[in-house]
Amino acid sequence: MLIDFFFTLRAALLPVSVTEYLALLEALQAGVVGPGIDGRGEGGGMEDFYHLARTVLVKDEKHYDRFDRAFAAYFQGVQMLTEKLGEIPGDWLKKLLDRELTPEQKAAIQKMDWDELMKTLKERLEEQKGRHEGGSKWIGTGGTSPFGNGGANPQGIRIGGTGGGRSAVKVWEQRAYRDYDDNLELCTRNIKVALRRLRRFARQGAPDQFDLDGTIASTAANAGWLDIRMRPERRNTVKLLLLMDVGGSMDDHVRRVEELFSAVRSEFKHLEFYYFHNCVYDFVWKHNQRRFAEKIDTFDLMRRYGRDYKLVFVGDATMSPYEILQPGGSVEYHNAEAGAEWLQRLTHHFQHHAWINPEPQGVWGYRQSIGVMQQLMSGHMYPLSLKGLEEAMRLLSK
C-alpha cells in the first residue's frame, strides 16, 4: 500500500527513509486519520492524510514545497483549500476571457494617483451590488477598470486572479510563497567561481588538521624525534547577509536565484539569509510558510549583525514606485514608513552592500522602479550574470 507514493517522494529528492514510510503505514493501520484512504489516496479523509503524511515523512520545513508538488503529482485531482476574499464575492472575480487592447486603447486609459485610487476603491465597495466584466468602472474582470483582474490598466489594484501586466500598486489576496531551494544541483560552476572573488581566508578555531610541513620542520629540529603538529582548518572568514525578494514577478527568476542561493550556501560559512517581497520594510522573515507569524524586525536585523557583514540584496526591483517611495505603498499591508527609508538605514549600517538583479540589464532603463532603486543603492546594482557577479564581488571585497 502506498509504495508508489514512497518512490514518488524519493524521486522528488525528498530524504524519506523506509522507517518513516513504515511509521506512516502504522499510523494508518492505527486509524489516526479517518476511513476511506485507499492505495491512490481516494476517500473522505484526504486532507487528514495529507497532514499526517507531511508530519511523519517531512522533517525539515524547507522541504514542504517539494513535498506538496510530489503529493499533487501522485494524487491526481487533489484540491487545495483556498481562503475566500473578505467582502468581495468570488464570482465577481471569475475570469472568463482575456481582453486584448490595442496600444492606442491602452494609452487612452487614465491613471489615478495614489489618494484618488484608494478613495475610489472605497466608493466602489460601497456602491457595487453585482459582478461586472469588461467595463472601465466597477470591480470586475477583463476590462480597463483599475479594480479587479484580467484586464489592462496602467495603475490599479489587483483583486484576486493572477497577475500579468505588473502594474498593480496593491494586491488584495492572501499570497503564499515558497522558500528558495538551497539543495539544487548546479549544472555549472561559473557562479561559484565568481563568488570566490569574495573570500578572505584565515586559520581559526581548534587545531584539528594535520600540519605536514610543521611536523617535518619540528621533527627535524628535534633530532629526528617525531613531533606531530596540528593546525586549525583554513576557512573563509567573510560574513554575508543575503536578503532575497520572493513572489510576484520574482517567480520568473526562481531557477536562477536558486542556483545562486545554492552556490552561496556552499561558498560562505558565515551566511545569514532572509526574505522580503518587492522592497524591504519594517520586517523580514526566515521561512515563507510562516512569514506573517514569525516576523523579524529590520531594526533587530541591524542590531544582530555588525558592520563587518557584507549586505547583498537579490531582487528584480520591478514594482510600482509607490512601493519604494510612499508610506503605505506595500502591496500587502500598510507600512508606516516608505521602503526608501529602510533601504537607506540598511545601506548606512552595512557599508559594503550590493544589489543583484536577475532582470536583463537591457530592460533596466524602461523600469522606473529599477532606476529609483539604483539611486538608493548608490549605483551598486549588478545583473545576475557571470560578469555582474564578478563586479559585485570585487566591490564587496574592497
Answer yes or no: do 278 and 293 share one domain.
yes
Ranges of the chain whose pLDDT falls below 70: 1, 34-45, 76-114, 117, 121, 125, 129-178, 180-206, 208, 233-236
Q: Determine the Cα–Cα distance for residues 315 and 253; give it in Å rounded to an integer.
A: 9
Q: What CATH number should be reported for the domain holding residue 280?
A: 3.40.50
Per cent of the chain over pLDDT 70 is 65
Q: What is the pTM of this model?
A: 0.54
Q: Determine the Cα–Cα distance for residues 378 and 375; give it in Å rounded to an integer.
A: 5
Answer yes or no: do 130 and 7 share one domain.
no
Give me the pLDDT at residue 81, please: 34
- Domains held by the chain: number: 4
Answer yes or no: do 220 and 249 share one domain.
no
**What are the angstrom distances between the C-alpha of 345 and each of 56, 298, 321, 373?**
43, 9, 19, 14
Answer yes or no: do 116 and 255 share one domain.
no
Answer yes or no: do 194 and 341 share one domain.
yes
Q: Determine the Cα–Cα distance for residues 138 and 125; give it in Å rounded to an integer.
A: 9
Nearest to 287 by CA among 302, 268, 274, 269: 274
| Spacing of C-alpha 261 from chain mean position | 11
Cell of 294: 514569525
Structural domain range at position 114: 90-172
Q: Is residue 180 part of a domain?
A: no
Task: Give the DSSP letter of residue 98.
Answer: P
Answer yes or no: do 319 and 377 share one domain.
yes
Nearest to 151 by CA among 162, 121, 298: 162
- The residues, ordered by sequence, that sit 6+ positions from 118 with a Cβ below 8 Å of its Cβ are none
Give me the pLDDT at residue 97, please: 45
Q: Is residue 80 part of a domain?
A: no
Answer yes or no: do 141 and 155 share one domain.
yes
Q: Rounded to 5 degrees, what are φ and ψ at 277?
A: -120, 115
Q: Determine the Cα–Cα distance for residues 89 and 138; give it in Å rounded to an integer.
A: 13
Answer yes or no: do 47 and 151 share one domain.
no
**What are the angstrom distances between the C-alpha of 368 and each of 40, 116, 167, 322, 346?**
51, 21, 11, 11, 22
Give me the pLDDT at residue 246, please: 92
Q: Is residue 282 part of a domain?
A: yes
Give me the pLDDT at residue 21, please: 87
Q: Is residue 326 part of a domain?
A: yes
**What are the angstrom distances between the C-alpha of 265 and each of 144, 187, 204, 330?**
45, 16, 20, 30
Answer yes or no: do 226 and 247 share one domain.
no
Answer yes or no: do 342 and 252 share one domain.
yes
Answer yes or no: do 253 and 340 share one domain.
yes
Q: Is residue 215 part of a domain?
A: yes
Answer yes or no: do 285 and 274 share one domain.
yes
Q: Is residue 81 part of a domain?
A: no
Q: Is residue 247 part of a domain?
A: yes
What angle separates helix 46-57 from helix 64-74, to the nearest 10 degrees?
A: 140
170 pairs with which residues across the strands?
157
Q: Is residue 185 part of a domain?
A: no
